[in-house]
Chains A and B, each alone.
Chain A
């Protein structure tokens, strides 16, 4: 109404009531959106970023944990293998040592037995020689007495002769036994 009366340029002059209405309406919209809507949107955006980054972080943490566990198991396995190897080596060393010991003692035993046998034999022989010497002397004297007659019995010369003879025999026997 007003503009029509004022002619062509009137459209370029603002109606002040409309400016007031526009300012109030726009102000109300600004107030509501900037107070109740957009800050909440920013919060949602942040929460969304947090959720995504948090998810990534959690995954990374789980991955790290898994890696640690794996590492630990590997270490344990390696330790166990080392232990087993050590035990095996020890057992082998023990077995070798035992074998050596047995061999040594067996050899010693054998030597001892052999030595004992030798000495026993020697002792028996000595004894036999001693016994034989006395007996052979007596036998020889008896025999000679029977052959030559009883008159000669008790003669001192005869006894000396017999002794000499027997000593001779003993020497010979000693020589033969030493040669043997």
Chain B
């Protein structure tokens, strides 16, 4: 591994960790000055690996689907069925729910697996702790819910439906319209991306604090301070378990909010 987190873990960088801990060297140093900078890093590798893992698992698990599922088929079906039934169909109804379920399920799986690298030993950082990846997903959500809304209501109809809540008195239009416009058409993808990014960023930072702190204590001259590093490492392990919850929850929240935005675009009344 060539990422700086691992280098830090080896003890030749200073404590406390800062944002420089999130920078990754290009694997091929010759590319750094070209347009391919940042294309081959640990983070992009993790993204490709995530996609590969998901594709391979699903193609393998669903090679020969049967009415009475095998264990791995059941697992694959549950992953899809969970998003399909308790998010998509629940929010959008049977018809639209089934139509959008594949996108939501893919979104959920992609975020879940890319998040998971935050606690995989050897990598221990999620690609989503760089704003670029969550931003792509947020923009995708934006494109989808705006497209769905425009298709259903027409361009002006959608603007009207999304900017003017039903039953608003005319005299507060000047206040409501800018707020709703900003909130529903500008901030939604940004908040989606920022929420995911900030959670993964903070999670990585906290893990760094405890693990690097442990090494820092260990490097001390004092035997008493050195023994304290045990607590730091224990705390790091506990935070890792906590991270697992955050990873799943953030994937779910991102998917759920996207589904809710699509629902609001499909709704007759805002």
Cα A39 to Cα B98 in complex, Å, equals 10
* Residues of chain B contacted by A14 (CB below 8 angstroms): 130-132, 135
Dominant SS among interface residues on chain B: helix
Interface: B17 (CB within 8 A): no
Evaluate whether A18 and B44 lie within 8 angstroms (CB atoms) in the complex, with A29-B55, A40-B62 already known.
yes
Give chain A's interface residue range (CB within 8 Å of chain B). Answer: 35 or more
* Residues of chain A contacted by B39 (CB below 8 angstroms): 17, 20-21
Evaluate whether A10 and B136 lie within 8 angstroms (CB atoms) in the complex, with A22-B127, A44-B67, A51-B67 already known.
no
* Residues of chain B contacted by A17 (CB below 8 angstroms): 35-39
Cα A78 to Cα B51 in complex, Å, equals 74
Per-residue CB contact flags for chain A residues 153-166 toward chain B (1 = under 8 Å, else 0) read 00000000000000
Query: Which of A1-9, A57-65, A69-77, A99-107 lies on the face that meets chain B?
Result: A1-9
Instruction: From A1, A10, A12, A40, name the one whose CB has the most chain B CB atoms within 10 angstroms.
Output: A1
- Do A15 and B38 touch across chains, with their CB atoms under 8 A apart? yes
- Do A44 and B43 touch across chains, with their CB atoms under 8 A apart? no
For B137, the closest partner residue in chain A by CB is: A26
Query: Which of B102-110, B156-164, B177-185, B211-219 lies on the face that meets chain A?
Result: B102-110
Evaluate whether A33 and B106 lie within 8 angstroms (CB atoms) in the complex, with A11-B201, A14-B132, A18-B132 already known.
yes
- Do A29 and B51 touch across chains, with their CB atoms under 8 A apart? yes
Evaluate whether A26 and B102 lie within 8 angstroms (CB atoms) in the complex, with A4-B20, A40-B65 already known.
no
Per-residue CB contact flags for chain B residues 243-265 toward chain A (1 = under 8 Å, else 0) read 00000000000000000000000
* Residues of chain A contacted by B25 (CB below 8 angstroms): 1
- Please tell me the number of chain B residues within 8 Å of chain A, measured between CB atoms: 48
For B21, the closest partner residue in chain A by CB is: A4
- Do B80 and A25 touch across chains, with their CB atoms under 8 A apart? no
Interface: B23 (CB within 8 A): yes
- Do B65 and A41 touch across chains, with their CB atoms under 8 A apart? yes
* Residues of chain B contacted by A22 (CB below 8 angstroms): 47, 127, 132-133, 136-137
B positions within 8 Å CB-CB of A: 19-20, 22-23, 25, 32, 35-39, 43-44, 47-48, 50-51, 54-55, 58-59, 62, 65-67, 69, 76-77, 80-81, 98, 101-103, 105-106, 109-110, 127, 130-133, 135-137, 140, 201
**Can you name 17 A-B residue pairings with CB atoms under 8 Å?**
A10-B19, A11-B130, A12-B131, A14-B135, A15-B38, A18-B44, A18-B127, A21-B44, A23-B136, A25-B48, A29-B106, A30-B103, A38-B105, A44-B69, A44-B77, A47-B67, A51-B67
